[in-house]
Amino acid sequence: MVTATRTQVAIIGGGPAGLLLSHILQRNGIDSIVLERQSRRHVLERIRAGVLEAGTVALLREVGLGARMDREGHPHDGSAIAWEGRSRFFIDTKKFTGRAMMAYGQTAITEDLYAARDAAGGEIIDQAGNVQPHELTSSRPYVTYEKDGSSRRIDCDYVAGCDGYHGVSRSVIPAAVLRTYEKSYPFGWLGIMSETPPYKDICYCYHSRGFALASRRNPMLSRYYIQCDLDTKLADWPDDRFWREFKARCPRDMADCIVSGPSIEKSIAPLRSFVAEPMRYGKLFLAGDAAHIVPPTGAKGLNLAVSDVFYLSRALTEFYRTGRTRYLDGYSDTALRRVWSAARLSWWLTMLLHRFPAETPFEERMRLNQFDYLQASEHAQASLAEQYAGLPFEA
């Protein structure tokens, strides 16, 4: 016996992309149901992004999600790059683009989204097992899943695949249709969270020992990362070893200002670039990490999920209001233009700021020269600042 319900848009994945889409659709009078594989607690405990582009901040405010962000987030005018043996350099997004950025954790955004969905009576089904979209090229698509031992079905007009890189949505697009582009990097990031006052800027450090990054969540919560080998084990990195290594990779004056303390979270993430094209297959639309992954060096992943959701919610809203499919038809191309720009910036910053195994002296000099050029040229700085602050959404 299969229990069936109906909605306009079935959303697979209750991460930031899926929740934000469902939130905006409801504001525009469109019904959706979110299916999430994990428990809500699990989703809320994941620690990930921290840097929001000006466009992301503006959109969150516009859809009524700005109050806590504006109270607790940390607006800033860009981030710093520190370079072993060179003076520090600031990516001044305020000066070159007039746009500020915001440090506000993905965990907090996800909490805000769950609170907003709950307040509006939004339906989010967590611990949904074996989620499968069906009949995506027909006029009657549907999604099946299992919950509490029973099989269920949601009939819908459209399916939004917001289920991240390991989700099911992308995998149902036939191989003859889907093109994928991928690059794996030979290292990962070992990250810790500590209840200590953060360093004054978000600061990316290049060092011959490897990359390091100082970031923040709030005035008493800091986030730090160091580049690590792919076979690194957390057990080999007690806090004191992490702090020693982190400080060894930043300039002396910066190291002296880092307030260390016990970590409250520690994790390792491999770095990867991945783009899937197209982002639409029949009635299925992919958004966020389900369609693309960028290495975190440019702080773009969550921001791209938000811009995808902006384009997709606009397309669905126009369809339900007017019956026109212009934006739905253009969704994949429009979203992908922004995705490729962010993919290129994230790749470029990753190549610039990390130490690669078996690098030749020539490659090292190229990197150094790239940095010197950046530091000396206002044009180069303006270009980096424009991309780091985030390109505007297309009209």
Three-class SS state of 8: coil
165: left (phi over 0), alpha (psi -120 to 50) or beta: alpha
What DSSP string describes 135-190? Answer: -TTSSS-EEEEEETTEEEEEE-SEEEE---TT-STGGGS-TTT-EEEEEEEEEEEE
Q: Which residue's CB is nearer to ligand PHB, number 200 or number 326?
A: 200
**Taken in order 349, 353, 357, 363, is the CA torsion positive or negative?**
positive
Q: Is the dihedral of CA 176, 146, 308, 102 positive or negative?
A: negative
To ligand PHB, the closest distance from the beta carbon of 59 in angstroms equals: 19
Of residues 301, 310, 388, 390, which one binds ligand RFL by CB under 6 A? Answer: 301
Q: Does 299 bind ligand PHB (CB under 6 A)?
A: yes
Token digits of residue 122: 């939004």
Considering only residues 161 to 200 of the shown chain, the ones binding ligand RFL according to CB under 6 A are 162-164, 166-168, 189, 191
Stretch that binds ligand RFL, among 23-31, 64-72, 117-125, 302-310 (CB under 6 A): 302-310
Is 204 designated active site? yes
* Backbone torsions φ then ψ of 179, nearest 5 degrees: -115, 135
Report whether 239 contacts 192 (CB < 8 A): yes
Q: How many angstroms separate the Cα of 145 from the Cα of each of 15, 56, 198, 286?
A: 18, 32, 43, 19
Among 22, 26, 194, 215, binds ligand PHB (CB under 6 A): 215
Binding region for ligand RFL (CB under 6 A) out of 43-51, 59-67, 321-329, 344-352:
43-51
Q: Is the dihedral of CA 373, 375, 378, 384 positive or negative?
A: positive
> Does 198 contact ligand PHB by CB under 6 A?
no
- What value, to the nearest 5°, has the Cα angle with vertex 374 and ends 368 and 370? 30
R_g of the chain, CA atoms, integer Å: 21
The answer to whether residue 35 forms part of the interface with ligand RFL (CB under 6 A) is yes
Asked if 43 touches ligand PHB (CB under 6 A), the answer is: no
Q: Least Å distance between CB 368 and ligand RFL?
A: 26
CB of 49 to ligand PHB, least distance (A): 6
Nearer to ligand PHB (CB atom), residue 106 or residue 332: 106
Binding at 297: pick from ligand PHB, ligand RFL, none (beta carbon under 5-8 Å per type): ligand PHB
Asked if residue 78 binds ligand RFL (CB under 6 A), the reply is no
The tokens for 17 are 């992309």
Q: How far is the CB of 302 from ligand RFL (least distance, A)?
A: 3
CB of 372 to ligand RFL, least distance (A): 27
Sole binder of ligand RFL in the list 77, 92, 112, 289 (CB under 6 A): 289
**Maximum distance among all Cα pairs of the chain, rounded to whole angstroms:** 69
DSSP assignment string, 35-66: E-SS-HHHHHH-----EE-HHHHHHHHHTT--
Give the interface with ligand RFL as residue ranges (CB under 6 A).
12-18, 35-38, 43, 48-51, 106, 128, 131, 162-164, 166-168, 189, 191, 269, 288-289, 296, 299-303, 305
Please list the active-site residues.
76, 204, 296, 300, 388
Give the interface with ligand PHB as residue ranges (CB under 6 A).
49-51, 202, 213, 215, 223, 296-297, 299
